[in-house]
Amino acid sequence: MLRRPRRNRKSPVIRALAEENTLSVNDLIFPLFLTAGEKKKVEIGSMPGIYRFSLDQMLEEIHTCMELGIKTFDVFPHIPDDLKDSYAKESYNPDGLYLNAIRTIKEQMPEACIMTDVAMDPYSSDGHDGLVKNGEILNDETLEILGKMALAQAQAGADILGPSDMMDGRVGYLRELLDKKGFTNVSIMSYTAKYASAFYVPFRDALDSAPKFGDKKTYQMNPANSREALIEAELDYQEGADFLMVKPALAYLDIIKLLNQNFDIPIAAYNVSGEYAMIKASAQRGWVDGERAMLECLMSMKRAGAKIILTYFAKEFALLSRK
């Protein structure tokens, strides 16, 4: 036997030399849930170790995470029902919970990179990402609302906007609007291939944002499709997206690889709430080693071609890499 692959596995040093991919805290984005009030830090039942923070607590959390090396945060708002309406008007209220928080975070910690979410669902009384009329999710009318939301977020100081709504044409619409208003330096990380997935349930619990009727299958992608992801990616690329995201991650590693092979801008993977919950739930029962399962799953996303990973494990990973 002239070729013995096991030689490259014979010691930790050799294994490290032969290692093809690495995980770094620099590649991680930590999603955070914001809620109204003060001194609130409420754990989400289906996401052990993940909380809804009031602004004061979120500022502390961001500070702690920055010291651990996490630099980018994706903030999502929990909006009380009485502020929701069918037009998601609260989403561009400059004095509302979310925009006030983004402004405060950027004022107090300008070096924190803040990503915001552009979609109607947290503010919509219908719980959908777009405007609903007669049971239908309207595309072009939604763009106008997303535009107001995105501009307000850019004005509040957001570094990266994350359109997660899957309306057609939204990246181009937002890019043109931002540029026209002078926000040429605000980035867009597009939820490019976002699938109609069963893995978003804990997130919808966290935000109380589940759709009030039907599902999201007329705008989010069919899990059976991969070639269609290339169409979405081509459009987002042409429309000016700076990053292309695949979501969820674990069941869609082939899509991450496909986009990475076909586009030269960085690919992001969203390791979603249900993926986090699966590992946490089985680890709590002692059925898998949670730490190793986390590292293996995150590495699978890197190996598939994700440069960036949005993950609820970010802080845990950062703490672990400190040891």
- Of the residues 247, 280, 302, 315, which is catalytic? 247
Choosing from 35, 54, 124, 164, the residue that interacts with ligand PBG (CB under 6 A) is 164
Site string for ligand PBG, 196-225 (x = CB under 6 A): ----x--xx-----------x---------
Q: How far is the CB of 3 from ligand PBG (least distance, A)?
A: 43
Cβ–Cβ under 8 Å, residues 69 and 27: no
Q: How far is the CB of 255 from ligand PBG (least distance, A)?
A: 16
In this chain, which stretch among 65-73, 115-123, 226-234, 249-257 interacts with ligand PBG, using CB under 6 A?
115-123
DSSP 222: P
Q: Which residue has the tokens 């709504």?
A: 165
| Total interface residues for ligand PBG by CB under 6 A | 12
Q: Which candidate, 166, 190, 199, 176, places its Cα nearest to that of 278?
A: 199
Choosing from 27, 90, 121, 232, the residue that interacts with ligand PBG (CB under 6 A) is 121
In the bound state with ligand PBG, the residue whose beta carbon lies nearer, of 153 and 273, is 273
Tokens of 308: 């960036």
Q: How far is the CB of 43 from ligand PBG (least distance, A)?
A: 16
- Which amino acid is residue 22, in one-letter code? T
> What CA–CA distance (Å, rounded) separates 187 from 183?
9
> What CA–CA distance (Å, rounded) separates 95 from 75?
16
Which DSSP string do the residues of 92-136 spell out, in sequence order? G-TTSHHHHHHHHHHHH-TTSEEEEEE-SGGGBTT--SSEEETTE
Q: How far is the CB of 147 from ligand PBG (least distance, A)?
A: 16
Active site residue 194: yes
> What CA–CA distance (Å, rounded) separates 112 from 245?
21
- Of the residues 10, 41, 148, 194, which is catalytic? 194
> What CA–CA distance (Å, rounded) separates 163 from 201?
19
Active site residue 217: no
In the bound state with ligand PBG, the residue whose beta carbon lies nearer, of 183 and 270, is 270
Interface positions with ligand PBG (CB under 6 A): 117, 119, 121, 129, 164-165, 200, 203-204, 216, 272-273
Catalytic positions: 194, 247
